Amino acid sequence: MPLSLKTEELNWSWKSFGELNTSELYEVLSFRQSIFVVEQKSWYQDADGLDECGEHLLVKDKNKLIGYLRLIPPGMKYDSPSIGRIAISKEYRRNSIGSKIVEEGLRKSATIYSSNSSTISAQEYLISFYEDHGFKTQGEVYDEDGIPHVQMVKK
């Protein structure tokens, strides 16, 4: 059962890679691995060389990391900016935190890249979630690290 929580009670902070201290970096990498590798049983290299150019949204409840998003600049992964590595602790899901994280990622992207467009690689089961945020599928479903994904674009 999801926790009852107000998103405004959470600590939302953006940090560049260089602004992350070693404890925060370890916390982020451990958090992502616990969800994308362990929980989803997808054995892949999470540290993909894009963290250093990205902006990182850390969402904490008190001092515990419970949500995360990585924003990649245009030209690094796709022609447009890209939000990704969106993760929420299992016990905090179904509280609209995911929607708030996506909205904040798109807001930050528009602010620093002057672009309302974004390209993502979405897990197939989340297509309708991202459609609710203005994304449209582009192309066919493909396998990414053993999980069906589809490219989606918001213009």
Q: pLDDT at residue 61 above 70?
A: yes
Task: Count CB atoms within 10 A of the CB of residue 103.
Answer: 12
| Half-sphere exposure in the Cβ direction for 52 (13 Å, CA) | 3
Q: Which residue segments constitute the domains of the chain, with CATH numbers given?
A: 7-112 (3.40.630.30)
Res 117: pLDDT: 94
pLDDT band at 94 (very low <50, low <70, confident <90, very high): confident
Q: pLDDT at residue 49 above 60?
A: yes
Res 29: pLDDT: 96
The overall pTM is greater than 0.85: yes
Q: What is the pLDDT of residues 109-132, one digit of tens each?
A: 999 999 899 999 999 999 999 999
